[in-house]
Structure 1
Amino acid sequence: MPSHSDHTEPLAPEWLTIPDDLNTLDPAIWPDTAARNASGGVEIGGVAVTDLAKTFGTPLYVVDRATAVAQATRIRDAFANALATIGTDVTVYYASKALLTSDVVRWMRDAGLNVDVSSGGELAIAVAAGMPPQRIGLHGNNKSYAELRAAVGIGLGTIVVDSLDEIDLLQAVIEDAVAETTADAAAGSPAASSPLADPSYRQRVRLRVTTGVHASTHEFLATAREDQKFGVALADVDEAVRRLRAIDRVEFVGMHSHIGSQIFDALGFDEAITRLIEVQKRLLESGPVPELNLGGGFGIAYTEADLPRPIEQMAENIASTLQRSCFAQGVPVPHIAIEPGRSIVGRAGVTLYETGTIKDVQIDQLTGNTRRYIAVDGGMSDNPRPELYDADYQASLASRSSDAEPVLVRVVGKHCESGDIVVQADYLPEDVRRGDLLAVPDTGAYCFSLSSNYNMLPRPAVVGVWDGTAHLLVHGESIETLLRRDAGLEITNKTED
């Protein structure tokens, strides 16, 4: 990270320091290919952000393919190398909820990753993008009959069962699917080519287990605590596995654990592994348990204050704990699966905004302290994470460089909410004016996925950049898009016609 001098601004958070150079792009939070060109503007993937804004408008999600692929490869290799030292290997699933487009699926497929989905819509996009069904895993705490039927019908690689109730639903789905496939085969229907037409085919299933580990992260991102909606409690695992193994067309392959997101160290994984391997020993007494899925949640740096442990160290720590736990319980080391998402695409993404209203607001009459507010043309509709998780971001002037003095600012959106804050606090050049482009890095994960039409703002386009060229990944919306969706206007228009 660049060096910084101590801040003296009373309204600045303790972690924020005044940059020595406001034009520097911190490599810890910007894409690998981000740089300033000869004119001082930012370019990503060899494409100037001014050209991107001119072509696609703002706000705009920009995704650097090189960074996403490099991160996927780095994580895959880190775990493969670490686990090889203890005699096992890894399957890496890209957690598509972080950012899902057909192109991103293909990037992950070609990098050797599988993909994890959690709804029928995500499944449909992954399949349509060309990911083989055998390389897809399906999550979800409330899967519908239709979603399970679609997964079973195409021979999905793995279904992660989330509750005792879902076991009954899955059994009904499989029985119906087998009956339909048998009937189709008798009638000579092409549907007889389904994997279920083979009497020896069994649907691979994992069981999501709530370990009770309290990961060090935001409360809404901790997913293994006892009082929440995901998974089966440790006390219910034996019964759940017994019932899964009793279903004729199901192959139970192992447990699944996900302790949370944006995790900076391996302590939570250590405790989860210790508890899971104790259960693994019991389950092996009545049948095979060849795999263990440890989920994802590896954190990234969003600001200069964030210091996540390098993924290579995380992998080595997890491998060491796994080996130690298996030795202590006298069980073989299972095949491991992981599901990174944010750590692959988070830093690959940047959101571009155009600045609008700029105002200085006096915060304290006694001290005279003022805060500069810079409003942009998006906000919580394209990035709700600051409101949902108190997430911090940083920003840079992107359309040009500047030698002006740094001033403490708060970047806000244009929504009718006082909490519509994009960047709580950062230093930008004093000469930022209406019409400048601001860039907020680290927005590749969950920003597009969580976007909305609040205040009837159209959702931005998603553009991929590589080799000096921009590629449209997802069409942006327009006011006309919103009008066409309103059924009342559709009825009115038909009447007038």
Structure 2
Amino acid sequence: MPTGGPDAAGAPWSSGVRRRPDGEVEVAGVGVAALAADHGTPAYVLDEADFRARARAYRQAFEAAFAAVGTGVDVYYAGKALLTVAVARWARDEGLCVDTASGGELAVALRADVPGAAIGLHGNNKSDAEVLAALDAGVGRIIVDSLVEVQRVADLAAGRGVVVPVMVRVTTGVHAGGHEYISTAHEDQKFGLSVAPAADGGTSPALAALEAVLARPSLRLLGIHSHIGSQILDPSGFEAAARVVLRLRADLAARTGVLVDEVDLGGGYGIAYLPGEEALEPAPVAREVAGSVAAVCAELGTPLPRISVEPGRAIVGPAGLTLYTVGTVKPVTVSDDDATFTRLYVSVDGGMSDNIRPALYGAQYHAEVVGRASGAEPVLARVVGKHCESGDIVVHQVMLPGDVRAGDLLAVAATGAYGRSMASNYNGLTRPPVVAAVDGTSRVLVRRETLDDLLGLDLG
């Protein structure tokens, strides 16, 4: 999938980002100066057409790949990456279902008129209120995460007099991703039930949970769910995980006579954050996953299940950027491994409150001065925020024009995923707005918080 960029081919910007002849950058035909004037900074800016194109590309690629091997597929937009009412509507418009991970995300999807049947509810510690809200909405699936939850969801469904479709989340032992915190299929973590035999050599927790679901009349076992991590750039992990899950499906059928209808292989498809990085493209990864599923089912002698996948970051991450205004700029002399050099610290009017990922697990981003052209020689810079933390780093290392100065507009690429959804009010900063740009116009999807919003929660 092509990516645009203000300066270099392959830079990680949305397809609607361009640098004008005068040096100013525009997003979907809207100049950054106008965006800053109309909406202030910091601001999350989403390229709506780019988001829609990526959603459509994933749906079409996976539908074509799985149709070719003889089964169907559902693509769920993983709302944890970024979920607003408009974003949920965009995803649904493009034929995607919506995956939620809390009662709040469920409420947003319902406010966007996403049908309950097209919504899934995740979570390793769902409250009774969240489960009941899902039951009342008629969600298409609740992904249960423990044996205790199997019993609890069954009891709540029985109390409502309904039969709820559930999937059991399993940990396959196949893990992938850019950091330990976002790898989710190894054994020593909070998600899912292991497919490995129990400590006493008995039935695996995953198989025990599947059988427990079958034993409860208020539950309908829809299928098995697996998710191996995030920011995955090597698709071989999906093949390995599919093999484990499909074998578990066959084992369950051999024990109970029940061959579940669906298998969810999760998401975690990686994107490009830095110039020169290559993202996973929808069509090749879809063909590889579909081929693996077909091959394993042929080996096992089982019919193909319906498949579901959950790209979130891969759709919204590249579609977004964060626009900042530069404040303090100062050179700092650094000594490292017997070398001495100067690093320019460029402070912006946001920071870890609007993008915690660099501080949380060292995530790397790319930034550029976007409000003007510059002929100055580039210098080594670090973009930092305004918070009272030395770890408040937005971009660890980037080359910026040597004449970068207070008042410049600076944009950080590929921040559509997890910026707003993980944002905070640290140091009393208000969270930025989410602004959509399309066809030369912009509009606010989520307004900027105000000090009145903050003070309104404080009862004194």
TM-score tier, shorter chain, comes to over 0.9
1:256 paired with 2:225, answer yes
In structure 1, distance between residues paired with 2:423 and 2:6:
29
SS in 1 for 2:335: coil
Number of residue pairs aligned between Structure 1 and Structure 2: 447
Q: TM-score, normalised by structure 1?
A: 0.87
Aligned-pair CA distance for 1:486: 1.7
Equivalences for residues 31-180 of structure 1 within 5 A: 31-178=14-161
SS in 2 for 1:97: coil
Q: Which residue of structure 1 aligns with residue 248 of structure 2?
A: 279
- Structure 1 runs of 4+ aligned residues shifted over 3 Å read 25-28, 365-368
Aligned-pair CA distance for 1:238: 2.2
In structure 1, distance between residues paired with 2:167 and 2:280:
28
Q: Root-mean-square deviation (CA), in Å?
A: 1.7
Aligned-pair CA distance for 1:175: 1.7
Aligned-pair CA distance for 1:389: 1.8
In structure 1, distance between residues paired with 2:212 and 2:17:
52
Which residue of the other structure, out of 284, 288, 291, is the alignment partner of 1:320? 291
Aligned-pair CA distance for 1:56: 1.1
1:350 paired with 2:321, answer yes
- AA partner of residue 385 (structure 1): R
SS in 2 for 1:322: helix
In structure 2, distance between residues paired with 1:424 and 1:42:
22
- AA partner of residue 207 (structure 2): D
1:486 paired with 2:446, answer no
Q: Which runs of 5+ in 1 are unaligned?
A: 3-21, 179-195, 197-201, 489-497
Aligned-pair CA distance for 1:216: 4.4
In structure 1, distance between residues paired with 2:96 and 2:241:
24
In structure 2, distance between residues paired with 1:156 and 1:450:
25
Q: Is the 8 A contact 2:384 2:393 kept in 1?
A: yes
- AA partner of residue 278 (structure 1): R
**Bigger shift: residues 64-73 or 32-41:** 32-41
SS in 2 for 1:295: strand
1:206 paired with 2:128, answer no
Q: TM-score, normalised by structure 2?
A: 0.94
- AA partner of residue 421 (structure 1): I
Q: Is the 8 A contact 1:265 1:308 kept in 2?
A: no
Aligned-pair CA distance for 1:154: 2.2
In structure 1, distance between residues paired with 2:207 and 2:348:
53
- AA partner of residue 344 (structure 1): I
Q: Deviations over 1:449-475 (max 9, x none)?
A: 000011111110110111111110001
Q: Deviations over 1:237-288 (max 9, x none)?
A: 2221221112213210110000000000112111111111111111223213
SS in 2 for 1:217: coil
Q: Which residue of structure 1 aligns with residue 348 of structure 2?
A: 376
In structure 2, distance between residues paired with 1:241 and 1:23:
51
1:467 paired with 2:439, answer yes
In structure 1, distance between residues paired with 2:416 and 2:38:
20
- AA partner of residue 248 (structure 2): V
Q: Which residue of structure 1 aligns with residue 193 of structure 2?
A: 232
Aligned-pair CA distance for 1:165: 0.4
In structure 1, distance between residues paired with 2:25 and 2:313:
23
Which residue of the other structure, out of 386, 394, 415, is the alignment partner of 1:443? 415
Percent identical residues? 49
Which residue of the other structure, out of 179, 185, 195, is the alignment partner of 1:218? 179
- AA partner of residue 87 (structure 2): V
- AA partner of residue 30 (structure 2): V
Equivalences for residues 320-469 of structure 1 within 5 A: 320-364=291-335, 367-469=339-441
Aligned-pair CA distance for 1:32: 0.7
Aligned-pair CA distance for 1:45: 1.3
Q: Which runs of 5+ in 2 are unaligned?
A: 196-203
Determine which structure has more spread, i.e. the larger CA radius of gyration: 1
Q: Is the 8 A contact 1:265 1:314 kept in 2?
A: no
In structure 1, distance between residues paired with 2:390 and 2:260:
51
In structure 2, distance between residues paired with 1:320 and 1:38:
46
Aligned-pair CA distance for 1:23: 5.6
Q: Deviations over 1:29-59 (max 9, x none)?
A: 1011111224321110111111111111110
In structure 2, distance between residues paired with 1:204 and 1:100:
24
Q: Deviations over 1:222-247 (max 9, x none)?
A: 00000100001111222212211122
Q: Flag the 1:364–1:239 CA change in 2: closer, same or farther, 3 A.
A: closer
Q: Is the 8 A contact 2:55 2:91 kept in 1?
A: yes
- AA partner of residue 36 (structure 1): R
